[in-house]
Chains A and B, each alone.
Chain A
Amino acid sequence: MKFNRRNLIKSFAALGSVGFSTRVLAQDKPNPNNLPPNLPEWTPDLGAGVDENPYGSPSQFEREVIRRNVPWLTASSQSSVNFTPLQDLEGIITPNGLCFERHHGGVAEINPTDYRLMINGLVDREMIFSLEDLKRFPQVNKFYFLECAANGGMEWKGAQLNGCQYTFGMVHNVQYTGVKLSDLLRETGLKPKAKWVLAEGSDTSGMTRSIPIEKILGDCLIAWAMNGEALRPEQGYPARLVVPGWEGNMWVKWIRRLEFGDKPYMTREETSKYTDLLTDGKARMFTWVMEAKSVITSPSPEKPIHHKGIQQLRGLAWSGNGKIKRVDVSLDGGKNWTTAQLHAPIMAKSLVRFTLPFEWRGEELLIQSRAMDETGYVQPYIQDLQKIRGKNSIYHNNSIATWLVSKSGKVDNVRLG
């Protein structure tokens, strides 16, 4: 066997890839033998053939681009959450394998042949649909962000987690393929008294949420595909509810039933959880919309600055109330702002990419981004939220974050006051 790099990788992989991968990834100095004028080691040999990797995966050098969790947050990994590595992504599409996960009883594994969606209650006809039935309806293809209402929840009282991924990563953005509920419900008909829908999942948690009928008939979908392929199991395979612009908990995965009624159902998820406790002990209920928000993905705690001179500040913005109209960026903690460039496509209820070039001379910076949506709503400061809602809310923290860039180029999540 000819000794080449690929065989080397293989034999290391057989020994256990951990040591190798850290060595490769930790290598930040280039190997001079691979640089001009030398012949790089990957050039003379044949690479992997087309039968080696029938379902492709990212380069081995991208192994650190993964979802991560915060083990101390939850008692069980089956009722837990992990976070999208926003700092490593470009554009606005989240690759399927990097979409954050939030389950209440682990991932249900459903054979699509055994999948059924039941529609019952205040309809003209109580009906059951198979996945094949659903796919025969007229379909739509739509980009939407999905954000957990608790995204940034650990930051209500102060800067707590030192990472873009941990403080903003409970959001993802994919293109859904599915059927509009307004089309699906033409089969069942609706009784005039139907005002609310109970959406129910078929996982072990039996996830349930009440949704008003206007929203259901407005833009909700039953989706079976994301980014061109079947939903991933952890995103509700074979079918999930899509509730554009509203909190992720309502996008019931592994959906098995829609019940129509004249009142809300007051499920555990909309009483015990996903209600916003104020300082006087009262709690807001049915706060569904995810208001405008933005984050600087680079520089960020995971993406320090390595060189003086020109930098391309990058970030993401989104609003559950429509399109992002503008994003401003400050380098001095919010005293002065510059409007960033928004990159097309700019779609309602979808992530939008923004960039802003700037020159860094090695000075300390306090960087912030501030999103504005088409309603004229401007992303608030945490103090604005705290003044009205106190510090016990957990959910719906859409405030402006501050990254401190120190003179070394290191970046920290900080709170200003």
Chain B
Amino acid sequence: MYVWVKIVSVLLLTSLMGTWSLQASDRAFNLGNIATSQQVKGWDIDVRPDGVGAPIGSGSVFDGEEVFAEQCASCHGDFGEGVDRWPELVGGEGTLNTHDPLKTTGSYWPYASTMFDYIYRAMPFGVSQSLSYDETYQIVAYLLYMNDIIDDDFVLSDQNIGLIKMPNQDGFLLPDPRPDASTIDGNPCMKNCDVPVKIIGKARDIDVTPED
């Protein structure tokens, strides 16, 4: 009897302790380390459309032209027109609803913040995270200017990057409307279905498949 009581009280105590520790920290496994604010600052480089996360700094169109020529033009062209098959960054307005749409930062990208975020984290291609914040503001200012979004005397900064209105900001549809193109009754036609069976194209004739 005595032993039994003891076991029960131990069980009770441990379960109480368990509840207590969950409430105190919710850490179920006690794994990992608390990150210092300095550690987080070094890796937390993203910038959101409303400007949240934009690092302190600024840059002019004029300075941007120079940095772009040095760091980016070899692939993207002096004016962002793209060299060879490297991506075009400028132009394309009015093409999105045609057979040959040209999606660029100017014609397609909905937010200027994305330009800062992406260029800082990923460009120049193969030398990422090497630009200073000011250089990145300069380049984004230059690209916005080349796309006729800001004037040549504009100075872009952490204060105003969340306020830039991009031409295609309202060009995106949410939420996902699919399934949009299928019978979802689980009962498709099985016999004598009315479908086109004329061959209208052969990949062999296009002849772009790599040969081994």
| Given A76-B125, A78-B126, A370-B188, A414-B202 contact (CB < 8 Å) | yes
Bound CA span A151–B185, Å: 26
| Given A267-B118, A282-B172, A377-B182, A272-B109 contact (CB < 8 Å) | yes
What are the 9 A-B residue pairs with the smallest beta carbon separation, nearest first? A376-B186, A281-B97, A206-B121, A281-B96, A333-B197, A417-B200, A162-B203, A75-B85, A268-B118
Does chain B have a CB within 8 A of A343? no
Contacts of B199 in A (CB 8 A): 366, 404, 414-416
Does chain B have a CB within 8 A of A87? no
Looking at the assembled complex, report how far the CB atom of A73 sits from the nearest CB atom of chain B, in whole angstroms: 10
Of the candidates A74, A78, A128, A388, the one whose C-beta lies within 8 Å of that of B35 is: A128
Who on chain A is nearest to B108 by CB? A272
Does chain A have a CB within 8 A of B6? no
- Kindly specify which of B43-51, B58-66, B140-148 makes contact with the partner chain: B43-51
Contacts of A414 in B (CB 8 A): 199, 201-203
Contacts of B121 in A (CB 8 A): 205-206, 208
Looking at the assembled complex, report how far the CB atom of B151 sits from the nearest CB atom of chain A, in whole angstroms: 24
| Given A137-B31, A160-B208, A381-B195, A281-B203 contact (CB < 8 Å) | no
Bound CA span A286–B110, Å: 14
Bound CA span A259–B48, Å: 12
Does chain B have a CB within 8 A of A229? no
Contact A72 B195 (CB under 8 A): no
Bound CA span A186–B25, Å: 9
Who on chain B is nearest to A374 by CB? B186
Contacts of B99 in A (CB 8 A): 391-392
Does chain A have a CB within 8 A of B132? no
Contact B35 A126 (CB under 8 A): yes
Other than the known A120-B43, A280-B97, A416-B197, what 11 A-B pairs have Cβ atoms closer than 8 Å? Answer: A125-B25, A126-B35, A187-B29, A200-B43, A263-B48, A333-B195, A335-B193, A372-B186, A378-B182, A412-B203, A417-B201
Contact B109 A118 (CB under 8 A): no
Contacts of B209 in A (CB 8 A): 70, 161-163, 166
Contacts of A259 in B (CB 8 A): 44, 46
Of the candidates A187, A301, A325, A385, the one whose C-beta lies within 8 Å of that of B27 is: A187
Who on chain A is nearest to B185 by CB? A376
